[in-house]
A and B are shown apart, each in its own frame.
Chain A
Amino acid sequence: MSERLAVRKTYKLFIGGAFPRSESGRSYVVSSSKGEFLANASKASRKDAREAVAAARKAFPGWSAATAYNRGQILYRVAEMLEGRRGQFVSELVDADGVGVRKAGELVDAAVDRLVWYAGWSDKIGAIRGSANPVAGPYFNLSSTEPTGVVAVVAPQEAPLLGLVSVIAPVIVTGNTCVVVASERAPLPSITLAEVLATSDLPGGVVNILTGSAAEVAPWLAGHMDVNAVDLTGADAELAVTCEEAAAENLKRVLRPPSVKADWLADPGTERMTAFLETKTVWHPIGT
């Protein structure tokens, strides 16, 4: 009896909770670390990027107004779904990164744990970043955190799962929505992650994932007037300058690429959350 022919997956984009192909009809070949054909991934265009921004903007009021408890539970749910697909991610990482099965397992575990870690921050970051301020007068004065808005993220080129999860989770846990340009070389785990997100009660549009060329797509996102911030973690030096210059047009918050190579297994700290938080201070008189 002949061996059964596998049913392969078509890898598409993830926009507004749906999985469309690139409107441009373009795709590109994704190869394993050994140079074998893995899949044709969608190559996102400028228009796809705009659609993704529109979806992220549409999702922002609902997601930012959700209770912190609710957002925390949804991130935890993402961790649960990721854990359930552990085997699939291990094999994708082995293919994409050329790492051994054991190492790939560690990376998937770390990605799950990272989501759990960030899930717990949803209702605590405000407590450590906000303050009641002792002003010199009869006023109640309170500073609290709010999400910046729509964040464009250039995901790390290496670490196609752990790095990706480590840049998405801190952006959305505080109530931002995002458009992510996935690793160009190893985009397949990002679309499988999108399947996880799509089945985790995460509202459509909170995370949008584009595959293709960061150098082509990211500058459009950085210059887009309805994007509030850019995370350039995965941009090379030249692309980072281009994007930071474009971001100046509407004073986007910019998180520059790390000055030393990121260690995704290290304690992430709170910087990735605080980079995309605003502080709002409310005054009210005290009197009878």
Chain B
Amino acid sequence: MFEYAPAPESRDIVDIKPSYGLFINGEWVEPLGEGRDKTINPASEEVLAEVAVAGEADVDRAVQAARKAFTVWSAMPGSERAKYIFRIARIIQERARELAVLESLDNGKPIREARDVDLPLVAAHFFYYAGWADKLSHAGFGPSPQPLGVAGQVIPWNFPLLMLAWKIAPALACGNTVVLKPAETTPLTALAFAEICRQADLPPGVVNIVTGAGETGAALVRHPDVDKVAFTGSTEVGRMIARSVAGSRKKVTLELGGKAANIVFEDAALDQAVEGIVNGIFFNQGHVCCAGSRLLVQESVAEELLDALKRRLSTLRLGDPLDKNTDIGAINSAAQLAKIRELSEAGEAEGAERWSPTCPIPDKGFWFPPTVFTGVAQSHRIAREEIFGPVLSVLTFRTPAEAVEKANNTPYGLSAGVWTEKGSLMLWMASRLRAGVVWSNTFNKFDPTSPFGGYKESGYGREGGRHGLEAYLAV
């Protein structure tokens, strides 16, 4: 491995306040309760800021503000709403570098990814849905589709600002107002987004940001004046939400966990497949719901592919997320690290063979080396449960039918990958995989025009594209 001099991105560009309140009705307000939480840099365990914990009464204030703003926002001509959202997209582009650094600091992801993947997609998402705001009558949902009202949105910590964009952009374009709760470990970019709403002169109450943990989210989801619930996160919490809205008229979309199969056939371009496998499971430390966490490789090329994969993994650089050469950043939290460790230990205990490249681990912060398990059986926990970390489980197959059988043998159905040079086989596989997104000869690609969402226990509803509008319209 080549030696590289450190190339850290400067953090001077971000201005983190020591303490944040809640963003309600266009103003920063203090929470009614005493609750305060700290958000830390997972790469150093340094406290970045103190953040309010919104209680039930705070959530109620935010929902009331959103309800009041709904009258204004839903009645505004779509062309005017569009211009506000375009403005937001532009401000995000203008502040992209600052937001990328902030995201990397709060989340632990490599700056290269925050800068080159997250932020461009965030801006693109707002830009895309801005254009829909005055074209809804052409979207295929009738001549005059109506917004739902107040959307309660709860997002995860793996792509904090991108998930915010996926939720807020279509909601606003369709004429809804929003109360959004970011994850408790990554609230800072959502709070920066609140400032962006002010810079854009967005009418007060159209976007409200309430910080806090699970209880805050639960209060938001069950609030009787919320018309729409959008959640991205674990299947376990998704189940609780689905149960809690039973009997209401709330519209719900859930984007939940996954255990995607990344399937490599013997005729695949193996070097490209190796890059795809690495991108599939080690992108964002594997904190990706659609990660290609199960590698299914055709038996005839398994040895060759695994040798190449291990060689490639030995060149990955783990460390300071702000260093522009870093490939693998920090695990987002101590709790997540504990979960990854627990499942990896279970993998060993159940008889799979564990391998990691030699990889220095920093003293402070939360880290986990890229890890590959071979000899994995379908019954092993590491083949069934979502690890949400840089851990790949390798299984083999002989025939396409066996690959389909193994790939679909999961309660999840979010994504899948297929690597083959044979077009008919690719399409045959794509048609049989029970998953909402199939990447063939590529992996982990996202675009605002492309619908994303799962089958089965990976949730329901689609985000992105024309399909993504349906979640925010009364249709």
Q: Which residues of A contact B152 (CB under 8 A)?
A: none
Q: A244-B247, A251-B460 are in contact. Are A282 and B440 (CB under 8 A)?
A: yes
Tell me, rounded to whole Å, the shortest Cβ–Cβ distance linking B331 to chain A: 27
CA gap between A283 and B427 in the complex, in Å: 11
B460 close to A143 (CB less than 8 A): no
Majority SS at the chain A contact face: mixed
Residue of B with least CB distance to A287? B441
A279 close to B247 (CB less than 8 A): no
A131 close to B465 (CB less than 8 A): yes
Chain A 244-277 per-residue mask, 1 if CB under 8 angstroms from chain B, else 0: 1101111101101001000000000001000000
Q: A284-B440, A284-B441 are in contact. Are A251 and B465 (CB under 8 A)?
A: no
Q: A133-B449, A135-B449 are in contact. Are A283 and B247 (CB under 8 A)?
A: no
Contact pick for A283, options B239, B437, B455, B466, CB 8 Å: B437
> Does residue B462 face the partner (Cβ distance < 8 Å to A)?
yes
A250 close to B457 (CB less than 8 A): yes
In the complex, chain B residues 434-448 whose Cβ is within 8 Å of any chain A Cβ = 435-442, 445, 447
B450 close to A141 (CB less than 8 A): yes
Contact pick for B246, options A139, A245, A282, CB 8 Å: A245
Chain A 215-253 per-residue mask, 1 if CB under 8 angstroms from chain B, else 0: 000000000000010000000010011001101111101
> Does residue B334 face the partner (Cβ distance < 8 Å to A)?
no
Q: Which residues of B contact A137 (CB under 8 A)?
A: 445, 447
CA gap between A162 and B405 in the complex, in Å: 39
A136 close to B453 (CB less than 8 A): no
Tell me, rounded to whole Å, the shortest Cβ–Cβ distance linking B139 to chain A: 11
Contact pick for A281, options B235, B452, B475, CB 8 Å: B452
Tell me, rounded to whole Å, the shortest Cβ–Cβ distance linking A251 to chain B: 5
CA gap between A247 and B243 in the complex, in Å: 8
Chain A 134-172 per-residue mask, 1 if CB under 8 angstroms from chain B, else 0: 111101010100001000000000000000000000000
In the complex, chain A residues 89-113 whose Cβ is within 8 Å of any chain B Cβ = none
Q: Which residues of B contact A256 (CB under 8 A)?
A: 249
CA gap between A182 and B466 in the complex, in Å: 36
> Does residue B383 face the partner (Cβ distance < 8 Å to A)?
no
> Does residue A35 face the partner (Cβ distance < 8 Å to B)?
no
> Does residue B77 face the partner (Cβ distance < 8 Å to A)?
no
Chain B 202-245 per-residue mask, 1 if CB under 8 angstroms from chain A, else 0: 00000000000000000000000000000000010011101101
Q: A251-B254, A278-B436, A282-B430 are in contact. Are A139 and B442 (CB under 8 A)?
A: yes
B239 close to A251 (CB less than 8 A): yes
B239 close to A143 (CB less than 8 A): no
Residue of A with least CB distance to B423? A284
Q: Which residues of A contact B245 (CB under 8 A)?
A: 244
Residue of B with least CB distance to A148? B455
Q: Which residues of A contact B411 (CB under 8 A)?
A: 250
Q: A133-B447, A143-B467, A244-B247 are in contact. Are A281 and B438 (CB under 8 A)?
A: yes
Q: Which residues of A contact B467 (CB under 8 A)?
A: 131, 143, 279
Contact pick for A241, options B235, B240, B247, B436, CB 8 Å: B247
> Does residue B148 face the partner (Cβ distance < 8 Å to A)?
no
Q: A143-B467, A237-B247, A251-B256 are in contact. Are A283 and B445 (CB under 8 A)?
A: yes
Q: A143-B465, A247-B242 are in contact. Are A282 and B459 (CB under 8 A)?
A: no
Tell me, rounded to whole Å, the shortest Cβ–Cβ distance linking B251 to chain A: 10
CA gap between A137 and B438 in the complex, in Å: 16
A285 close to B442 (CB less than 8 A): yes
Chain B 405-446 per-residue mask, 1 if CB under 8 angstroms from chain A, else 0: 000000100000000000000100010000111111110010
> Does residue B324 face the partner (Cβ distance < 8 Å to A)?
no
Q: Which residues of B contact A245 (CB under 8 A)?
A: 243, 246
Tell me, rounded to whole Å, the shortest Cβ–Cβ distance linking B276 to chain A: 10
CA gap between A278 and B462 in the complex, in Å: 9
Tell me, rounded to whole Å, the shortest Cβ–Cβ distance linking B265 to chain A: 14
> Does residue B124 face the partner (Cβ distance < 8 Å to A)?
yes
Tell me, rounded to whole Å, the shortest Cβ–Cβ distance linking B439 to chain A: 5
Contact pick for B243, options A131, A228, A248, A281, CB 8 Å: A248
With most chain A CB atoms within 10 A of its CB, the pick from B245, B247, B466 is B247
A-B contact pairs, 22 of them (CB 8 A): A133-B447, A133-B451, A135-B450, A136-B124, A137-B447, A148-B455, A237-B247, A241-B246, A245-B243, A247-B242, A248-B242, A249-B239, A250-B411, A250-B457, A278-B455, A279-B451, A280-B430, A280-B436, A280-B455, A281-B450, A282-B438, A284-B440
Contacts A133-B451, A139-B445, A251-B459 supplied; 12 other A-B pairs, CB < 8 Å: A131-B466, A136-B449, A143-B450, A228-B456, A244-B247, A247-B242, A278-B455, A279-B451, A280-B455, A281-B451, A283-B437, A284-B441
B contact set with A: CB distance below 8 Å:
124, 140, 235, 238-240, 242-243, 245-247, 249, 254, 256, 411, 426, 430, 435-442, 445, 447, 449-453, 455-460, 462, 465-467, 475
Across chains A and B, which 4 residue pairs bring their CB atoms closest together, nearest first?
A: A248-B242, A244-B246, A241-B247, A135-B447
